Amino acid sequence: MKEYIMGGMRKDKPLRFVIQRHTRDGERPHWDLMLERGEVLETYRVSLPPEDWGVKPVEAVRIFDHPLKFLSYEGSVNKGKGQVEIADCGTYRVLGRDDKQQLLEFAGNILNGKFVLAHIKNAEWKLSRSDTAD
């Protein structure tokens, strides 16, 4: 993996992340993993709660970037049709990145440790715990 440097920041500088739980009447909840990248939150939709992400690989669908205000936002979304609440938050480090995958290290209340976010095709990604030794 290539070293990841963004806007002159070293790859090991901690960045913020948040996981929001989305609920909407009549639908199953989903979770959005939001990663701070400059002035936006790069966002991935996941169908399982963060407690399950280290157990087996989970599908993550890349959706539109969100503004940084979502790092702490809880409340109504989609013109009142849904609600979001913070399921987890903390910092993460980009340990490596290339066109096909990213090696990330999370330090949150629930999500902790090294994970690989691997590109499958189009907007489809896979998030799995990394076997990389410390």
> Residues 36-80: pLDDT tens digits?
999 999 999 999 999 999 888 999 999 999 999 999 999 998 887
Q: Residues 122, 42, 83, 89: what is their CA dihedral angle, to the nearest 10 degrees?
A: 130
Q: Is the confidence at residue 9, as pLDDT, over 50?
A: no
The pTM of the whole model exceeds 0.85 = yes
74 alpha-carbon distance from chain centroid: 17
pLDDT of residue 12: 56
Instruction: Provide the token pair at 28.
Output: 């199953």
**Strands annotated E in 4-81:** 15-24, 30-37, 40-46, 58-67, 75-77
